[in-house]
Amino acid sequence: MRRPLTQRKCQHCKTFFDPDPRSAGRQRYCSQPECRKASKANSQRRWQQQPHNRDYFKGPTHVERVRQWRKDNPGYWRRQGSRAPHALQDDLTLQETQTQRLDDGLVPHALQDSFFMQPTIFVGLIAHLTGLSLQEDIAMTARRLQQLGHDILCGATHQPGGIPDAKTPHFVDQTPTGSQPVQLGRSAPGP
């Protein structure tokens, strides 16, 4: 049967503490942060007082030892280690809006330039909300939404991108031309 642990007096703060069972024979300091620092300093002092450790960080042989270790372990100090993973989305910070002079009309960009620069989820959202499936229609809607957002943020008095004071966007009730009604849940009627 194991002998019960007895309390010890910390060599730094002089209070009694229960030593860790794994190191009860060697533990002389409690777990308070100040006492742990004192323990570390005492340990380093004892290590450096040993004759073979006195010049451990000095001299050409030790410089070469460090160079060889750095060569064998490239990028050691740049490793991520156990850092917390990055957030999927960073906190949004408010930015000052900058007002720009708008030309009389927006110059339409080439379809490929403006359409494929949009994130796929944004394109999918426009297609889902509007029912549009052609790239040209989605790109035109994206440009209109971009201008509407710019008008809202910059406080434009004219209405090139949308309707001021609108409660719902004007493109919600649009249905694509030539669309056929679809019935879900059962087979089509007929012979």
Q: Per residue in 134-173, pLDDT tens?
A: 888 888 888 888 888 888 888 765 555 555 554 555 555 5
- Nearest partner of 147 among 116, 187, 106, judged by Cα: 106
What per-residue string of b and e applies to 173-187 under the rule 16 or more CB within 10 Å gives b?
Answer: eeeeeeeeeeeeeee
Tens digit of each residue's pLDDT (9 = 90 or more) over 69-127: 989 988 877 766 556 666 666 666 666 776 666 555 555 555 555 555 667 777 788 88
Tell which residue, 167, 161, 166, 164, has the closest CA to residue 148: 161
Tell me the domain boundaries of the chain: 8-72, 109-174
